[in-house]
Amino acid sequence: MDKFTTITGIAAPMPLINIDTDMIIPKQFLKTIKRSGLGVNLFDEMRYDDDGNERPDFVLNKPQYRESEILVAGDNFGCGSSREHAPWAIKDFGIRCVIAPSFADIFFNNCFKNGILPIALPQEAVDVLMKDAEKGANARMTVDLEAQTVTTSDGESFSFEIDPFKKHCLLEGLDDIGLTMEKVSAIDSYEARTAQQRPWV
Amino acid sequence: MSPKTLYDKIWDAHVAHEDEDGTTLLYIDRHLVHEVTSPQAFEGLRMTNRTVRAPDKTIAVPDHNVPTTLDRVDGIDNEESRIQVEALDRNSRDFGIHYYPVSDVRQGIVHIVGPEQGWTLPGMTVVCGDSHTATHGAFGALAHGIGTSEVEHVLATQTLIQKKSKNMKVEITGKLRPGVTAKDITLSVIGETGTAGGTGYVIEYCGEAIRDLSMEGRMTVCNMAIEGGARAGLIAPDEITFEYCKGRPHAPKGAQWEAAMAWWKTLYSDDDAHWDKVITIKGEDIAPVVTWGTSPEDVLPITATVPDPSDFNGGKVGAVQRSLEYMGLTPGTPLSAIEIDTVFIGSCTNGRIEDLRAAAEILRGKKIKDGMRAMVVPGSGLVRAQAEEEGLADIFKEAGFEWRLAGCSMCLAMNPDQLSPGERCAATSNRNFEGRQGRGGRTHLLSPAMAAAAAVTGHLTDVRELM
Ligand code: SF4
């Protein structure tokens, strides 16, 4: 998995609440058997009209936001379906960090498996970051995972919380399965124990 | 011993390893797999030369992509869908996991097949690459949706890296009024908590109104726990649960059944257990409800009117404006005046036999409105067979409904069953998101009986008027 340390980049503002994973990547793109290539269809139904032409007023279609690496959004980002195609599409587009007041649980977890950093900050802080993002390509935001801070283009800084284990995995680009495999003896003994206690499982 | 909740008890029984910071390897008893969220996981295993650790605890069934028309025996037309289903066929064979192919009468929506076949049992941990895995919580099993990377993790290790959630109690007291169903309970709870209200929590539903529900009803309630943002929904197992499980193909038998029962009977929340949050709703206050917007929290009694954006605060004002525009609705319109052109009865929320009975009860001897497109998609081949045996299929067909084969169908419209832009559907499924049932399609969520009533009158209807 790609490591995540620090990024300084353009942040796209999406001041909508309840952005669900159907919006992030509609179901017609779930028919792939690959992980890559979903970036062009990120936010497909908001981004393109019925004939497949770009809607010029959608944020990621605006020239100043085409290279966005950060997304700033409203409450409950990523709710709905568990599809990991949502973080795959976000990553494939080039976005490595999503900032919102809150995230839906499964989406939040899925981000970490794909080298994306989801940052939950209080509404007031997100409001400041949203304003900064609205300045466009000249305003570059910095996300520093080691220091756990987000800094606006004006130098205003906010600290965020993150689970230490998740932080470690992201910084080092660690693969969960590899880590768990190191504990295989614990799984073996769990299975042996419960085969006695709950043989019907 | 300190008092525990049901969640605590199931969790404790599945800890394979715990780090100092509470990061836990939770052992997974049942892993359900479908064709949409699994191909990349199996591919990952192949690339790393890993195998499925516990193939006998892994069950696969194609459901999202499969056509539900009778001609599906001739193959799937859509190439991408066909490739995905073929990938599941191959992966199931290569890795030796239990499989119900499209041609098997037991095939159906994964969350209906699991319980039906006795794979889902009390006290288990159940995961699936699908958010509605919450359904299985109705058995007192800790069940939740996971992403594809986690699917791969469970395939390879039979565990999941987890931290414990907070615990919320949702109590529905007293009795429900006539015409009010499990669907109305679960939608009303979301209306109360909001779609993010459950984030970070495992919910246990309890109270007399929950106890009175059948297993089918309990599955409907837990199914939508995820729509309230919760990690999982739980209902403590009782005689109704045990009765449902007994004799199922993969339920324990004989002495093992007795041993299982002895443990299952300990699975309840202790009286003085700690809850991080408690919500109480009176059963008698719950009305038949429908959704008017594009979030499951946009729910109101059928007797209400379309709300005004100015009734809301904060980010919700803009969201309501946007959803009313998408839904083509004007504030102040009575909900019962909203005309619809499609009715969909099915999904893992309401595709079980009891749901079909409830809808058929309303339709008996009636016809659907002229020009209405109405379909019933049973949740599994066995539900379909039983409905045919009970004569329900005839009632639907005589009323003018299409009688389909099992699958997810118009719940998410990955197969050919879709809404066209602007089409308005009364649906028994669980999501009314923009485009969920087809680009530009408009969805109103409601119970099977309410859906049947709407099919007859042509507009959203208070089912109590037809009872
Ligand atoms: S019926 Fe709908 S919600 Fe249920 S598993 Fe299928 S697509 Fe998902």
Q: Which atom of ligand 1 is nearest to the CA of B34?
A: 5
User: What's the CATH number of domain A6-173, 1.10.10.10, 3.50.7.10, 3.20.20.150, 3.20.19.10?
Assistant: 3.20.19.10
Task: Enter the pTM of the model.
Answer: 0.94
* Assembly ipTM: 0.92
CA distance A20 to A77: 6
Q: How confident is the model at residue B416, as a pLDDT?
A: 85
- Atom 2 (ligand 1): residue with closest C-alpha? B411
Q: How confident is the model at residue B331, as a pLDDT?
A: 98
Strands laid side by side in the B142-145 sheet: B98-99, B58-60, B30-33, B125-128, B142-145
Asked if residue A138 has pLDDT above 90, the reply is no
Residue A88 structure tokens: 């795959």
Query: CB-based contacts of A5: which residues, under 8 Å, 6+ apart?
Result: A144, A145, A146, A171
Can you name the residues that pair with A100 across neighbouring β-strands? A120
DSSP for B196-220 reads: TTTTTEEEEEESHHHHTS-HHHHHH
**What digits encode the pLDDT tens for the residues B286-315?**
999 999 999 999 999 999 999 999 999 988
Q: What is the mean pLDDT of residues B198-227?
A: 97
Q: In terms of C-beta density within 10 A (0-12 exposed, 13-18 middle, 19 or more buried), how is residue A181 classed?
A: middle
A31 with B80: Cβ contact below 8 A? yes
Query: CB-based contacts of B258: which residues, under 8 Å, 6+ apart?
Result: none
Q: How confident is the model at residue A139, as a pLDDT?
A: 83
Q: What is the mean pLDDT of residues B363-370?
A: 97
Q: Which atom of ligand 1 is nearest to the CA of B412?
A: 7
Least-confidence region, from A130-139, B184-193, B341-350: A130-139
Contact B134, B222 (CB under 8 A): yes
Q: How confident is the model at residue B415, as a pLDDT?
A: 82
Measured between beta carbons, the chain B residues lying within 8 angstroms of A23 are: 433-435
Q: How confident is the model at residue A137, as a pLDDT?
A: 79
**What digits encode the pLDDT tens for the residues B74-104?**
889 999 999 999 999 999 999 999 999 999 9
- Atom 1 (ligand 1): residue with closest C-alpha? B347
Considering only the beta carbons, identify the residue of A26, A113, A183 that sits closest to B17.
A183
B146 with A106: Cβ contact below 8 A? yes
CA distance B149 to B128: 12
**All structural domains of chain A with their residue ranges:** 6-173
Q: What is the mean pLDDT of residues A98-111?
A: 96
Asked if residue A47 has pLDDT above 90, the reply is yes
Q: How confident is the model at residue B322, as a pLDDT?
A: 94
Contact B208, B314 (CB under 8 A): no
Higher per-residue confidence, B455 vs A31: B455
Q: What is the mean pLDDT of residues A148-158?
A: 97
Residue A198 structure tokens: 């709950």
Interchain contact A84–B (C-beta under 8 A) = yes
Interchain contact B45–A (C-beta under 8 A) = no
Q: How confident is the model at residue B155, as a pLDDT?
A: 98
Asked if residue B1 has pLDDT above 80, the reply is no
**What digits encode the pLDDT tens for the residues B386-414?**
999 999 999 999 999 999 999 999 999 88
Q: How confident is the model at residue B399, as a pLDDT?
A: 98
**Percent of chain B residues past pLDDT 90, beyond the cut:** 95
Q: What is the mean pLDDT of chain B?
A: 96
Q: How confident is the model at residue A160, as a pLDDT?
A: 98
What confidence tier does B459 reach under pLDDT thresholds 50, 70, 90? very high
